[in-house]
Amino acid sequence: MTINPRSQTGTNLLQTALAKPYHYRRSGRYYLRLRPQGTTTGFFTLSLRTTDKATAMTISQEILSTLKAYHFDNPAATWEELRERLIEIAESCLTMAHGDSSLVAYEMIHDEHHEALREASAKLPLSVNQQRAVGKALEIIEAAQERLKGRPGKLVEIVRDLKGESCGTPVALSPSLSVLPSEPLTFKALSALYMDEHKEYAGAKTVRDTTSDCKTISEILGDLDMKNHTREDMKNLRAKLLEGRTASTVKKILTRLSTVMKWAVNNDYLTKALTEGLKPTKGAESSRKAFSQDQVKALMAYAKALPVDAWQRWALSLGVIAGTRIEELRQLTKADVKQIGDVWVIDINRNDGKTAKTKNALRVIPLTDGAYGFDLKAFLEFVQGADSRLFSLGAGRFSELLNGLIRDVLGVKADRTQTFHSLRHSLAGALKAAEIPVGTAESILGHASGSISYDVYGAGSAVEVGRMADALGKAFSIAK
């Protein structure tokens, strides 16, 4: 649960003295419940994000000391009183020992403290001294996050400055109370922060592509401080990218730039992105071309002539009738071929160590018996006789052989304008020609918005799969 200074009844706990906290455990995890003094309502609950009692109690004490540190219930608090509390918190963040569980927990707790303090600064009628304390507290929290990653330098400097500062020193408040790190923030450093947050959830190919695009951008932007970047910097970046690259490639890279920059703004690393309208439009269409219907029919005619136990027969056939990405196809297992209601499908998932490009790529795709001559019964016999995986080759070899086969059968050039991936474009074109609703087509191709559930145990799953099966049947009947 995200820490929020607003309680369930609207009371602002950051302005109010707190009653004795209450701890409890649910499903093995510890929680802290807080409420204002003098009332039995207005409580709110914080997850301590740990199943270890000692760690939970330590985190709880840290939360309570942080909420009390700023004298939000005492507008008359002097800067000297607030400074002493800030020193205590900073020293605690600097010297506290951590285990693996508390490292993870404190990283999240610091993020939540940061959010709560920023909201307090923006919304509460705080005194000048309190606002000054909030600004310094935000610096402390950001530095504490760095310390959790083994970089204590910022926190050491803050402690030294707070202790060495004259109590009577006047301070001019910054126009912005959202404190950003003082050192330059390059795109290389920014993209590393982005990747660190997203790498756990992204597929291997997405990680590779993102890393490659960000490296290209970083090499051009160099030491530019992204906190001070201008629109002219972004336009110069686009001009450099267009040197020796197609417009479609540049569009892809700039889309990645926009994603990282917007994430940085949303996470308070930057105050602006300046990437809107940057992507080129002229010549930006994909260089990948769909196969014509004659080419698709030629591939399927070739596939049907292959032996029933030949993996090439079914790799080509599934590419045509299901529009899978090549790596989705290569990773299929026997368990991924199943029935939902009366419809046979292939299930694109991340089970057993498999990867997927995005979460929207996780889907089921109906198999259309008879489409371009596809023999469902023969395919199921092939599946039954296969080992755990339907295709045993590694990624590089599988792609090399399958794309080479397509070139041999169709006589297309090895310039990557027509490859196995072009079959996805062909299927997309067939769905469009059949006037299939965009949402249904996206669901089949793995570009879904996430509005449709494909849980095989879901009550409506058979209905949804039936709808996709009907759409594919219509598209293939028109394409004949």
DSSP 51-91: S-HHHHHHHHHHHHHHHHTT-TT-TT--HHHHHHHHHHHHH
Average pLDDT of the residues in 378-400: 91
**Percent of the residues in the chain that have a pLDDT greater than 70, as a whole number:** 75
Query: How much is the pLDDT for 123?
Result: 60
The enclosing H or E element of 131 equals helix 128-148
Q: Which residue has the higher pLDDT, 411 or 164?
A: 411
Residue 199, pLDDT above cutoff 80: no
Query: How much is the pLDDT for 297?
Result: 94
Which residue, 359, 358, 372, 381, is CA-closest to 318?
Answer: 372
Q: In angstroms, rounded to a whole number, what is the distance separating the alpha carbons of residues 109 and 102?
A: 10
Query: How much is the pLDDT for 208?
Result: 84
Q: In angstroms, rounded to a whole number, what is the distance separating the alpha carbons of residues 28 and 26?
A: 5
Residue 299, pLDDT above cutoff 90: yes
Q: Which residue has the higher pLDDT, 322 or 41?
A: 322
Q: Where are the beta strands (DSSP E) in 333-422?
A: 337-340, 343-348, 363-366
CB neighbours (10 Å) of residue 2? 10
Lowest mean pLDDT: which of 90-99, 329-338, 416-425?
A: 90-99
Query: How much is the pLDDT for 5?
Result: 41
Query: How much is the pLDDT for 7?
Result: 40
Tell me what the pLDDT averaged over the chain comes to: 78
Query: How much is the pLDDT for 460?
Result: 43
Residue 2, pLDDT above cutoff 60: no
CB neighbours (10 Å) of residue 318? 23
Residue 181, pLDDT above cutoff 80: no
Query: How much is the pLDDT for 377?
Result: 96
Lowest mean pLDDT: which of 92-101, 174-183, 320-329?
A: 174-183
The domain spans of the chain are 13-164, 187-266, 293-479
Query: How much is the pLDDT for 135?
Result: 86
Residue 408, pLDDT above cutoff 80: yes
Q: In angstroms, rounded to a whole number, what is the distance separating the alpha carbons of residues 307 and 177?
A: 70
Average pLDDT of the residues in 29-48: 60
Query: How much is the pLDDT for 11?
Result: 40
Structure tokens at 365: 């795709």
Q: Work out the pLDDT band at 430, boundaries 50, 70, 90.
A: very high
CB neighbours (10 Å) of residue 212? 12
Pick the CATH number of 293-479 from 3.20.20.70, 1.10.10.10, 1.10.443.10, 3.40.1180.10: 1.10.443.10
Q: Which CATH class is domain 187-266?
A: mainly alpha
* Highest-confidence segment of 47-61, 62-76, 200-214: 200-214
Q: In angstroms, rounded to a whole number, what is the distance separating the alpha carbons of residues 371 and 472?
A: 9
Q: In angstroms, rounded to a whole number, what is the distance separating the alpha carbons of residues 448 and 451?
A: 7
Query: How much is the pLDDT for 74?
Result: 63
CB neighbours (10 Å) of residue 439? 14
Q: In angstroms, rounded to a whole number, what is the distance separating the alpha carbons of residues 65 and 21?
A: 12
Query: How much is the pLDDT for 18?
Result: 52
Q: In angstroms, rounded to a whole number, what is the distance separating the alpha carbons of residues 105 and 234?
A: 37
Q: Which residue has the higher pLDDT, 362 or 71?
A: 362
pTM: 0.47
Residue 379, pLDDT above cutoff 90: yes
Structure tokens at 458: 């879901």
Contacts 24+ apart (CB under 8 A), 134-138: 134/70, 134/177, 135/173, 135/174, 135/177, 135/179, 136/86, 136/162, 137/66, 137/69, 137/70, 137/86, 137/89, 138/114, 138/177, 138/178, 138/179
Query: How much is the pLDDT for 206?
Result: 79
Give tens-digit pLDDT for 434-475. 999 888 888 898 875 443 333 333 334 667 888 899 999 999
Q: Where are the beta strands (DSSP E) in 275-348?
A: 337-340, 343-348
Q: Which residue has the higher pLDDT, 179 or 365?
A: 365
Average pLDDT of the residues in 208-222: 91
Average pLDDT of the residues in 381-402: 90
Q: In angstroms, rounded to a whole number, what is the distance separating the alpha carbons of residues 136 and 20?
A: 27
Question: How is residue 372 annotated by DSSP?
Answer: G
Average pLDDT of the residues in 269-281: 83
Q: Is 352 left (phi over 0), alpha (psi -120 to 50) or beta?
A: left
Residue 132, pLDDT above cutoff 90: no
Query: How much is the pLDDT for 63?
Result: 61
Question: How is residue 162 annotated by DSSP?
Answer: H
DSSP string, 172-239: PPPS--S---SS---HHHHHHHHHHHHTTTS-HHHHHHHHHHHHHHHHHHTT--GGG--HHHHHHHHH
Structure tokens at 109: 């707790």
Average pLDDT of the residues in 144-156: 86
* Highest-confidence segment of 38-47, 189-198, 283-292: 189-198
